[in-house]
Structures are given as C-alpha cells and as structure tokens.
Chains A and B, each alone.
Chain A
Amino acid sequence: MSLKSSKLQLNEQGQLRHFLGIDGLSRELLTEILDTADSFLEVGERSIKKVPLLRGKTVCNVFFENSTRTRSTFELAAKRLSADVLNLDVQTSSTSKGETLYDTLRNLEAMAADMFVVRHGDSGAAHFIAGNVCPDVAIINAGDGNHAHPTQAMLDMLTIRRHQKPFEQLSVAIVGDILHSRVARSNMEALRILGCPDIRVIAPRTLLPEGIEQYGVRVFNDLRTGLRDVDVVIMLRLQKERMQRGLLPSEGEFYRQYGLTSDSLALARPDALVMHPGPINRGVEIESAVADGAQSVILKQVTYGIAVRMAVMSMAMAGQTTQRQSRQGAE
C-alpha cells in the first residue's frame, strides 16, 4: 500500500515528480535543485518577478497545520511561476466537519489541481497522499509531523552554498530540539548527501531521537564543545510545550545551556553563519544580538526559500507531466 520514498518521488526517467523528503535522492538531483534555484534567485531581482513556466497550472496549498509564513513563500513561489494558486487552510474548514484528509484531497483533485503543497501534523502524510490518494498530482511536502521539511533543508543548503566553502570542507552544527524537528532530519540527510564531512548535533539527551547515529553525525550534549570551529550554526525553534512533557526543566535552563549568544558563537569560526528556520524565539534559543548580527543569514534564508520552492515546484511539475505522458504513450 505504499512505496519507499525514493521510488515514490521519481518518475521512470529519474526526474523529481513529488518532493516528499531528502532521503533517497542523489547528490546530482540535490545539486540540480540548487542550480535551478540559483537561476530563480535572479528572477526575483527583476522588475517583473515572474516567469511563465507554470502558466495555466493550478497549485493548491493545503495546510493542515497553521503556518502563514511557509504558506506565503509557497504562494509567492507559485505566483512567480505564473500558476493559479488556491490556499486551503484545512484546520478551519472541512476537517472540522468530519471530512477526512482523503476526501478533502480527492475533492481538490477533482477541481483539476496539478500540484498540492501539503503541510500536515502526521509524519508520512505527504507520502500517504502521493502513494494512496492522488498519485497523478505532484505533491510537495511542506512539512509532515516530525519527519521532513525538504524545501526548508534545500533553502538551508542554498544559503550555505552561497555563503560558505564547498560542502566537502564544512563543519555544520545543528542545535536544539532535534527530536521533534523535521528541519533537523531533512538537514542532516541533505548535508550527508552533499558530502559534508562533519555534521554535529547539539542537544540534551531528552531532545535527541533514539538512533541519531544513523545519520552519521557527531552528538554533543555540551554547546561550547560542539560549536568549536564550526562554519555553520543552524539553530532550531524550541516549542514551549516541551517543558510540560517533562523533557526540559525550564526555558531559562535551556537558554543557559543551549542558547546561542555572542559568547558561545565566538567559539565557532569567525566567519561562521548563523541560521534559523524561523520563527525565532529571541531569548529562548538565540540572543537577539546574534539573530540580528553580522553573521546571521536568517533573512537571506527567507529570500532563498522562494527561489528553492520555485525550483522544486517547476521540477516536480515537469517530472509529473512527463510521467503522465509516458504512461499515456504506453497505453
């Protein structure tokens, strides 16, 4: 009833047709996404920031979890590709009336949607949709549970590639709530595939998943040891409910141990980048002065996010279209 993600995401020619996760994709494909995104970055600097690639296509943003920020960047990306965009905030509409995910998406499919950008609280939701609900619609995973946030990972990779040394020479530290972070999982996979030799995760034991070693990362419980000489620091957002579930004693203790401050950042290389997927909690995981400081590329990440999403959307739409044509040709 479902396929491994690597098979599900690619068409018979090996092109992207859904973008569900980083796992199982090749270095060449990730590089192609970054190259294409580079080209789209330039489109964003024109007076008319729009190309006609997806003219006449319909993109539905289906968000089962609220995220105005992420949804807006997908919306802007789709519009810059000249697609028609439909935003569906499902929390406030059909599921509260008891309609299932399955029925919601089948209904949208019947409106001749060509692409779904999906965010859902359940890990594997995007796989489920691509594999079991609408295999002929291109599915872009905009975050599923604790599993993956592949477009965030790719925009992080684009940020690193544009502002740092080649991946083969980098030390990257990911700091904070790894356990609940789909961003961390996708970033660890992307960094490994792109050849980063030193990936570190820095977190208390309670915020690390069982079997973290499988990602080929080095685990540090101590921030200061972990940050030493890194080129990139990726901070993660800490949700307040972690305190209630007995994973942490308090926000204050977390900030003292794991908060990124000017002092702790000084242990990294002087040109180290500070990144954060947003929205940031100032004074919980990061000091304001660091978030706004010279080493911070947090706002650049947002700009790059649009280009990366344009790249992924156009590649997946093309891959899905050729898949459909080759199947029709075979019939």
Chain B
Amino acid sequence: MRITISGARVIDPASQLDQITDVHIDHGLIHALGDAPQGFQPSMTIDARGLIACPGLVDLDVSLREPGFGRKGNIASETRAAAAGGVTSLCCPPDSRPVLDTPAVAELILDRSERAGQARVFPIGALTRGLEGEQLSELVSLRDAGCVAFTQGLAPVASNRILRRALEYAAGFDLSVIFMPQDAALAEGGVAHEGPTAARLGLRGIPETAETVALARDLLLIEQTGVRAHFSGLSSARAIDMLADAQSRGLPVTADVAMYQLLLCDEDLDGYSSLLHVMPPLRSASDRRALRQAVQSGVIQAISSHHRPHESEAKRVPFAAAEAGISSVEVLLPLSLTLVADGLLELPALLARLTSGPAAALGLPAGRLAVGDSADLVLFDPAGTTEIGHHWLSRGSNCPFMGQSAPGKVSHTLCQGRLVYQA
C-alpha cells in the first residue's frame, strides 16, 4: 500500500529534520520525503496540514500482561492502546506468567503481537530463570528468539556474586541489561516514599537509599564488567546525580523515566488513591524537579510509560494492598506534551526523548524517519486536546489522569506503513 502524508510539519529528531513536507510510504517503508518520486501513485493520501508528523514513539516499558494475566490485559488490547498513544515500538518486560525466560515465551509474544498488528513489540528477557535471581536464563537463545535486552525488573538477585556473573556473561555476548535499582531489604514492606507524607499517612516508607544503594552497586559492577547498561524508572534526585556522575566519567549508561514520575509526587498520596500506588514509589516534589531537569539536560535519554494495566479489583482495595502501577501507554504522547506546555522542553527535544533517545538506548531499529526505515509514524494535532478516558482502549482503566485533559491529540498512527489508529 502506498500512502502520502501531505503538508505536515515533519519532525525527526534523529536526523534533526523539522520542516513542512510530504512523506511517501511504500511497502511499509519510508519511500521518500519531500516531492513524490516519479510515477509514485498513492492509494491513500492523508491531508496532514496543521498536524505534526514524527517517528512513532518508542516505549521501553509496556507490560502487555500476556501470557498469564488476561484479566489485566492482553497483547491485542494493550498494543491497540499503544497505537492510540502514538507508540509504534514497545518493549515488554519479562514478568509474564510463565516468565519470559525461554524462547518459547518470546516466540509466543512475537507471534501474537504480529497477529495483532498494532505495534512492533521487542521483548525483554528475564536475566535469571523465573526472575528468581539464582540461575542465569539462556540469554543467547533468548536473544536469538528476539529479546533485545535482559532485566531482573524489581526482583532481587540472590547475591552480588550472581549478579556479577550474569553481567559478565551478558557482556561477553554484547547483550544489554536493564536495571531497576531497588535494594529489596531496604524497601521491604514499603509502599510509598519515606518522607513526611508517608509518615503522616501511616504508610510504610521506602527510603531513597533503597534506590541509591542498589544503584551504586550496579554502577560499580557495570564498570567492572563492561556490560551495556540501561537504567529504567529512576525515581530520586540523588540517583540522578549518581547517574550523571557516572556518565561524566565516561560510563556509557542510559536511563529512562516513567512519564507519570514527571507529573506526580508523594504529596499526591494525600487521600490514599490506590491508583497512585506505583513502584518505585512517587518521591518528593524536589525529586520530581530533578527528574524533569535530567530529562531536559539529557542525563535521562528516554521517557517511557511504565504501563501497568490492572483489573479494577486490583486497585479496589486500600492503598497498601493495591497492586502497583498505572495504565498509561495510550496517553504517553499527550502527557509528554505537557512538558512542552510547561516550558521544560522544546517540542523536537521532547520528541527525541520519545523516539530516537529510547531507540538508541537499546539499539532498536526504530524511532527515526529516514528513507528505507520502517514507516512508523504518528500524526498529532499540537493545538488539539485529549480528553483522557474518552474512548479508553487499554483493558486496565487504572489511570489517575482519567477525566483530565492533556494538550495535543493523536490523529493517526502508522505502523510499518499501515494505519493502525485514526482518531
């Protein structure tokens, strides 16, 4: 199918393109930018005047809940939600049931996402079998089955010795490892940032040191083993300082932050909304300020949704008893655009954090608009408004922004040259 997108302001952070031009798509690839090549006959033309066209967003953390958690979501429902949020490439964490620690699970996920045809899915494999932290997964077989990186998520590794061996092994095959640093013992039983708000509400706190102690250990082991490393979901100002320090010493570590961490903080827990139970927890307002500055400065290269859909029962309990996470992939772009509205970032810089930045962090073939690339694009109206919750697609309606409005409105999402979402 041949498509022409005409008249959009095309922003491609990877090539630093920002101009009003046409995009021509053929056989799922970017065929040409600007004038149509000789003899190009589109079967569909999208009049995109007034809209912005950019690479489809690359989201490094979208829990698809399949296999194993059909009550919370499935590949079809959550990739459809992703498409509505302008996300065309996404990484799914290994915490499915069974855990993504065998090629069979990776193949199942890839097969079903291909059939759903809504977004390109890049699975993240479990670093250890069953995420139990004891025995290494078959990392190379998993890579061959399509896993683009490996992680323990928030699950602890039994010992520093095992972690060191896992990182050495991964480094030997040039595999990427994603870290979510949280010291399990310091965080034990905690549900909220340890600080005045948690103290007042009587919620068990997770100290900042739960993150920084683990981060310090991880950085040292990364340096020792030389593994390719990415940090996901950092939450504290102190952790950002340590990351920036490591980067300035030349350690090639990248990081992403959960979009909601840039908007919410622990003070919002007043009232005990279980929708705000997330892990790592929402930290203080000054932590949030540091995270936003790190996104601005580029210490953090990527913004991801950390999408965690849940059935309503999982949140229809008191705060501490609620399962952690927010369903947010389908509002990733509008929520991110608030950062432009707030004056934190210019639009091209924001889009870099949503496309080329995350793609580069894990070396994904996505997030750019060059001739010959996969035709993954999102068109959005920067002057429009998204009413959050209107036509909700994710199976999880656990989104604290429900009922609010956010700037910008996705009008079309194209994945591999096919129109997968149209407002």
A–B direct touch in complex (beta carbons closer than 8 A):
yes
Instruction: Give me the interface of A with B, judged by CB distance under 8 Å.
Output: 1-5, 8, 23, 100-102, 120, 122-125, 127-128, 131-132, 144-148, 182, 185, 209-212, 214
A-B contact pairs, 19 of them (CB 8 A): A1-B274, A23-B200, A100-B316, A100-B317, A101-B321, A122-B318, A123-B201, A123-B318, A124-B319, A125-B318, A128-B318, A128-B319, A132-B316, A144-B202, A146-B202, A209-B205, A210-B198, A211-B196, A214-B196
* In contact, A212 and B199 (Cβ under 8 angstroms): yes
Residue B272 lies at the interface, judged by CB distance under 8 Å to chain A: yes
* In contact, A122 and B319 (Cβ under 8 angstroms): yes
A128 and chain B: residue at smallest CB distance: B318
Query: Which of B202, B270, B272, B316 contacts A102, CB < 8 Å?
Result: B316
Instruction: Give me the interface of B with A, judged by CB distance under 8 Å.
Output: 194-205, 207, 270-275, 313, 315-321, 400
* In contact, A5 and B271 (Cβ under 8 angstroms): yes
Query: Which of B196, B207, B272, B275 contacts A124, CB < 8 Å?
Result: B272
B325 nearest CB across to chain A (Å): 14
Contact A127 to B202, CB < 8 A, known contacts A100-B316, A100-B317: no
A124 and chain B: residue at smallest CB distance: B272
B264 nearest CB across to chain A (Å): 13
Query: Which of A4, A125, A148, A210 contacts B270, CB < 8 Å?
Result: A4
* In contact, B275 and A1 (Cβ under 8 angstroms): yes
Compute how far the CA of A219 lies from the CA of B200 in the bound complex, rounded to whole angstroms: 16
A209 and chain B: residue at smallest CB distance: B199
Compute how far the CA of A210 lies from the CA of B197 in the bound complex, rounded to whole angstroms: 9
Residues of B within 8 A of A124 (CB): 201-203, 272, 318-320
Compute how far the CA of A127 lies from the CA of B272 in the bound complex, rounded to whole angstroms: 7
Contact A102 to B199, CB < 8 A, known contacts A2-B273, A3-B271, A128-B272: no
B271 nearest CB across to chain A (Å): 4
Residues of A within 8 A of B315 (CB): 1
Nearest 6 A/B pairs, CB to CB = A211-B196, A147-B202, A124-B272, A146-B202, A209-B199, A123-B202
* In contact, A185 and B202 (Cβ under 8 angstroms): yes
Compute how far the CA of A200 lies from the CA of B131 in the bound complex, rounded to whole angstroms: 47
Residues of B within 8 A of A120 (CB): 318
Contact A185 to B320, CB < 8 A, known contacts A1-B275, A3-B271, A4-B270: no
Compute how far the CA of A209 lies from the CA of B270 in the bound complex, rounded to whole angstroms: 17
* In contact, B196 and A210 (Cβ under 8 angstroms): yes
* In contact, A131 and B271 (Cβ under 8 angstroms): yes
A189 nearest CB across to chain B (Å): 9
Compute how far the CA of A8 lies from the CA of B272 in the bound complex, rounded to whole angstroms: 12
Residues of A within 8 A of B196 (CB): 210-211, 214
Residues of A within 8 A of B270 (CB): 4-5
B317 and chain A: residue at smallest CB distance: A101
Q: Considering residues A123, A147, A211, A214, which has the most beta carbons from chain B within 10 angstroms of its beta carbon? A: A123
Contact A2 to B318, CB < 8 A, known contacts A185-B202, A214-B196: no
* In contact, A100 and B313 (Cβ under 8 angstroms): yes
Contact A210 to B201, CB < 8 A, known contacts A120-B318, A131-B271: no
Compute how far the CA of A1 lies from the CA of B204 in the bound complex, rounded to whole angstroms: 21
Please name 6 further chain A to chain B contacts, defined as beta carbons within 8 Å, in addition to the given A1-B400, A102-B313, A124-B201, sorted by A numbering. Answer: A1-B275, A4-B271, A122-B319, A125-B318, A132-B316, A214-B199
* In contact, A145 and B274 (Cβ under 8 angstroms): no
A229 nearest CB across to chain B (Å): 27
Residues of A within 8 A of B204 (CB): 146
Q: Considering residues B197, B198, B321, which has the most beta carbons from chain A within 10 angstroms of its beta carbon? A: B321
B191 and chain A: residue at smallest CB distance: A123
Residues of A within 8 A of B207 (CB): 210
Compute how far the CA of A127 lies from the CA of B203 in the bound complex, rounded to whole angstroms: 13
* In contact, A122 and B320 (Cβ under 8 angstroms): yes
Compute how far the CA of A331 lies from the CA of B213 in the bound complex, rounded to whole angstroms: 57
Residues of A within 8 A of B194 (CB): 210
B272 and chain A: residue at smallest CB distance: A124
B197 and chain A: residue at smallest CB distance: A211
Compute how far the CA of A125 lies from the CA of B316 in the bound complex, rounded to whole angstroms: 11
* In contact, B198 and A2 (Cβ under 8 angstroms): no
Q: Considering residues B194, B205, B315, B318, which has the most beta carbons from chain A within 10 angstroms of its beta carbon? A: B318
Compute how far the CA of A146 lies from the CA of B198 in the bound complex, rounded to whole angstroms: 10
A150 nearest CB across to chain B (Å): 12
A205 nearest CB across to chain B (Å): 14
* In contact, B271 and A123 (Cβ under 8 angstroms): no
* In contact, B198 and A127 (Cβ under 8 angstroms): no
Compute how far the CA of A177 lies from the CA of B273 in the bound complex, rounded to whole angstroms: 27
Contact A122 to B321, CB < 8 A, known contacts A1-B274, A210-B194: yes
B238 nearest CB across to chain A (Å): 15
Compute how far the CA of A81 lies from the CA of B207 in the bound complex, rounded to whole angstroms: 46
Residues of A within 8 A of B319 (CB): 122-124, 128
B315 and chain A: residue at smallest CB distance: A1
Q: Considering residues B198, B199, B204, B400, which has the most beta carbons from chain A within 10 angstroms of its beta carbon? A: B199
* In contact, B320 and A123 (Cβ under 8 angstroms): yes
* In contact, A127 and B316 (Cβ under 8 angstroms): no
Residues of B within 8 A of A1 (CB): 273-275, 315, 400
Residues of B within 8 A of A2 (CB): 271-274
Compute how far the CA of A265 lies from the CA of B205 in the bound complex, rounded to whole angstroms: 33
A145 and chain B: residue at smallest CB distance: B202
B47 nearest CB across to chain A (Å): 40
Compute how far the CA of A89 lies from the CA of B79 in the bound complex, rounded to whole angstroms: 44
Residues of B within 8 A of A144 (CB): 202, 318
Q: Considering residues A1, A4, A144, A211, which has the most beta carbons from chain B within 10 angstroms of its beta carbon? A: A1
B203 nearest CB across to chain A (Å): 5
Compute how far the CA of A127 lies from the CA of B200 in the bound complex, rounded to whole angstroms: 14
* In contact, B320 and A211 (Cβ under 8 angstroms): no
B375 nearest CB across to chain A (Å): 39
Residues of B within 8 A of A3 (CB): 271
* In contact, B200 and A214 (Cβ under 8 angstroms): yes
A215 nearest CB across to chain B (Å): 8
A208 and chain B: residue at smallest CB distance: B199
* In contact, A147 and B201 (Cβ under 8 angstroms): yes
